[in-house]
A and B are shown apart, each in its own frame.
Chain A
Amino acid sequence: MKKKKVWKTKSSLADKIFVVCNTVFLAAFVVVTLYPVLNTVALSFNDGIDAVRGGIHLIPRKFTLQNYKTVFNQQNIITGAYISVARTVLGTILALATNSLLAYVVSRKRFIFRSQLSLFWVVTMYVNGGMIPTLILYRNLGLTNSFWVYIIPGMIGAFNMLVMRTYMEGLPDGLEESAQIDGAGDFRIFVSIISPLCKPVYATVALFVAVGQWNSWFDAMLYNRMASQYTTLQYELMKLLSSVMQQSGSANPGSTTAVAAVTPVTVRAAATVATMLPIICLYPFLQRYFVTGMTIGSVKE
């Protein structure tokens, strides 16, 4: 408040120019960010043949719900939606349970293998086997062509663990000590003392994991290409979109991709909107959680 007053009385010409430029820049930023999304929404409600004429910006010209009907009548998209929801829910719950327990173990100052276990996981952030050895491992473990490949391998991640650990280390030691005096074991302390206090950081990690699960498509393509019953919404959307994308570079007719029957731009828009809708509806309300998470995660690494 005080600062504002000072600025108002002292604002020089240069400062005024700065404010104008800044406002213009940020307004442009907002337009560039929002326009493509809103344009997709407008297209999704527009008649398919009409849309070919172009010129649709923010408002549909010929309103219809037909695109959404087409999308939701496709069996593969329905299957994909079910699998996507299932992997998001189950994946998030399991990731939360395991990462929090690991973070608890690593954040116990009295634990004798604390630093070794911590290092063991931090290393995984920098070194990994790469795409092919991982693929072969999953094949040998029977994880390919299976729903569990979405859940088990990525369950524990060093980054999420570190975010939780940092938060737990910030809790007062006295809590744990008094619980120990009362005779509570570690499991009990974890469940009844520490976890209730960690709700904000749990929410943060749950958000990260859930968004990652929902948006993931490469695992469906790499590991479950042959198992259409385990396809995901994003992967189905990708198939829909890529059939068109390949066309823009299709000056070479003998290209490797068999061009599928091109889906009208409006139907693609409807599928896109359906896929991003859950996230768009939820993320504004979860802001404070991911802001804390990002800040903890990058400061303490």
Chain B
Amino acid sequence: MKAKRISWKEIKRQKFLMVCTLCFVVYGIVFYYLPLGGWIMAFQNYKSRDGFFGSQWVGLDKFKFLFSDATFIRVIRNTLAMGVLNLVTTFVMAIVFAILLNEVRLAMGKKFVQTVSYLPHFLSWIIVTGILHDALSSSGIINELLVKVGLIDNPINFFAHKGYFWPIVAFANVWKETGWNAIVYLAAITSIDPSLYEAATIDGAGRWAKIKNITLPGIRPTIMILLIMNIGNVLNAGFEVQYLLGNGLVKSVSETIDIYTLTWGVSQNDFSLGTAAGIFKSVVAIILIVAANQFAKKTGDSRLF
């Protein structure tokens, strides 16, 4: 902005800032950038005893193995499918919840619902999956209700059928994060000019019309930004729930890239293959986020970078 000559005196004055910067950069290099160097393992047959420099180079063999492995292809499908399903359901639910909550006129009721809605976000996935497991078990509330209503005769073992797994994971995410994700939308709604609503009321607009024509367009920029941020995370969303809720019977639909990495990299000690799977995930994530950003640029919406 302003061309400022940097004098020695200024540098001396900024000594403390410089020293801090040095420490932070060293820390960042060690804990965030050094692991990137570990990517060379994917091109080696890495053995702990030989180290990075003594291990045998194998070129792209590990990647070739990955993409010829039917399990890995299935794992990619699972990760993408659950990632997209989770993204769509949590996104829509958070927006719907925020808009509907905003329509509540009773301040106490609004506060109460909102406080309750945050609760699951603060529980760990261990607890959430544990609770969910109990609710869906053969003696759990869901089966009890379904039997009582007469929809089914015998309790369903939800965790033994592949068809239920993706919806269960999506529901778990919605249950945990809806209230939390709605915070941002509620804040965005608050910043909409109230005179717009007043004018609409005078024109005789009903609640639906106001939501459709004022609230939704008003939070559109927020929706776009969050969408872009979350698209990069689509592949990251596939670990804890699937790991905790998965079991032998639904393995073919529950395993994700991260679980594959864990199985090969840690349990089987094939560090190279685990790293290769991790690289694939990182690269796809970056492609997704850049693509989403480009898309936002085209449609003229606010974007990340």
In the complex, which residues of chain A have a beta carbon less than 8 angstroms from the beta carbon of B72? none
Query: A130-B35, A251-B160 in contact; A18/B279 too (CB < 8 A)?
Result: no
Tell me which of B11, B119, B183, B282 contacts A130 (CB under 8 A).
Answer: B282
- Does A126 lie within 8 Å of B113, measured CB to CB? no
User: Please, which residue of chain B has its CB at the minimum distance from the CB of A141?
Assistant: B30
Chain A interface, number of residues (Cβ within 8 angstroms) = 99
Look across to chain A and name the residue whose beta carbon is closest to the beta carbon of B113: A26
Judge whether B192 is part of the interface by a CB distance below 8 angstroms: no
- Quick one: CB contact mask for B79-123 with A, threshold 8 Å, 1 for yes? 000000000000000000100110111000100110111111011
Q: Is B278 touching A33 in the complex (CB atoms < 8 A)?
A: no
User: Is there contact, CB below 8 Å, between B266 and A222?
Assistant: yes
Contact A105 B24 (CB under 8 A): yes
Instruction: For residue B155, give the distance in angstroms from its CB to the closest CB of chain A.
Output: 10
Q: Say whether chain A's binding surface is mostly helix, strand, loop, or mixed.
A: helix
Out of B25, B113, B225, which one reaches A298, CB within 8 Å?
B225
Give the nearest-CB partner of B117 in chain A.
A33
Q: Tell me the chain B residues, 120-153 only, with Cβ under 8 Å from chain A.
A: 120, 122-127, 129-135, 137, 139, 141, 144
A146 an interface residue at 8 Å Cβ cutoff? no
SS of B interface (majority): helix
User: Measured between alpha carbons, how far is A129 from B283 in the docked complex, in Å?
Assistant: 11
* Cβ-defined partner of B282 (8 Å) among A128, A185, A275: A128
- Separation in Å of the A5 CB from the closest CB of chain B? 11
Tell me if A64 counts as interface (CB < 8 A to partner B).
no
CB-based contact B262/A131 at 8 Å: yes
Contacting residue for B265 out of A126, A127, A132, A238, CB 8 A: A132
- Choose among A111, A211, A237 the residue that contacts B127 (Cβ–Cβ < 8 A): A237
Return the chain B residue nearest A4 by Cβ. Answer: B105
User: By the criterion CB–CB under 8 Å, are B16 and A185 in contact?
Assistant: yes
Interchain CB contact (< 8 A) of B248 among A6, A252, A265:
A252
In the complex the two chains form, what is the Cα distance from A279 to B119 in whole Å? Answer: 9
User: Range of interface residues on chain B?
Assistant: 35 or more
Residue of B24, B127, B137 near A275 (CB, 8 A) is: B127
Residues of A with C-beta under 8 A to B238: none
Give the CA-CA distance A39 to B266 in the complex, in Å: 37
Say whether B295 faces chain A, with CB atoms less than 8 Å apart: no
Q: How far is the CA of A191 from the CA of B279 in the complex (A)?
A: 41
Q: Write out the residue numbers on chain B whose beta carbons fall within 8 Å of the beta carbon of A153.
A: 31
Tell me if B101 and A26 are in contact (CB < 8 A). yes
Contact of A22 among B10, B100, B244, B266 (CB under 8 A): B100
Min C-beta distance of B75 to chain A, whole Å: 14
Chain A nearest CB, measured from B294 CB (Å): 15
Contact string, A33-73, partner B, CB cutoff 8 A, digits 1/0? Answer: 11111011001000000000011010000000000000000
Interchain CB contact (< 8 A) of B129 among A29, A156, A187, A241: A241
Question: Which 6 residue pairs are nearest across A and B when measured between Cβ atoms?
Answer: A129-B35, A133-B38, A130-B278, A249-B247, A215-B124, A54-B139
Q: Which positions in B face A, CB cutoff 8 Å?
A: 6, 10-11, 14, 16-18, 20-21, 24-25, 27-28, 30-39, 41, 48, 97, 100-101, 103-105, 109, 112-113, 115-120, 122-127, 129-135, 137, 139, 141, 144, 157, 159-160, 175, 178-180, 183-184, 187, 194, 197-198, 201, 204, 206-208, 222, 225-226, 229, 232, 239-240, 244-245, 247-250, 258, 261-262, 265-266, 271, 274-275, 278-279, 281-282, 285-286, 289, 304
What are 20 inter-chain pairs, A to B, with CB distance below 8 A? A4-B105, A12-B206, A30-B116, A35-B141, A39-B131, A54-B144, A126-B289, A130-B35, A132-B41, A141-B30, A186-B16, A214-B124, A217-B124, A241-B244, A245-B244, A248-B133, A272-B130, A276-B127, A291-B183, A295-B184
Beyond A105-B20, A237-B126, A242-B244, list 9 extra A-B contacts (CB 8 Å): A14-B206, A15-B206, A30-B113, A39-B134, A39-B141, A102-B24, A111-B17, A128-B32, A215-B122
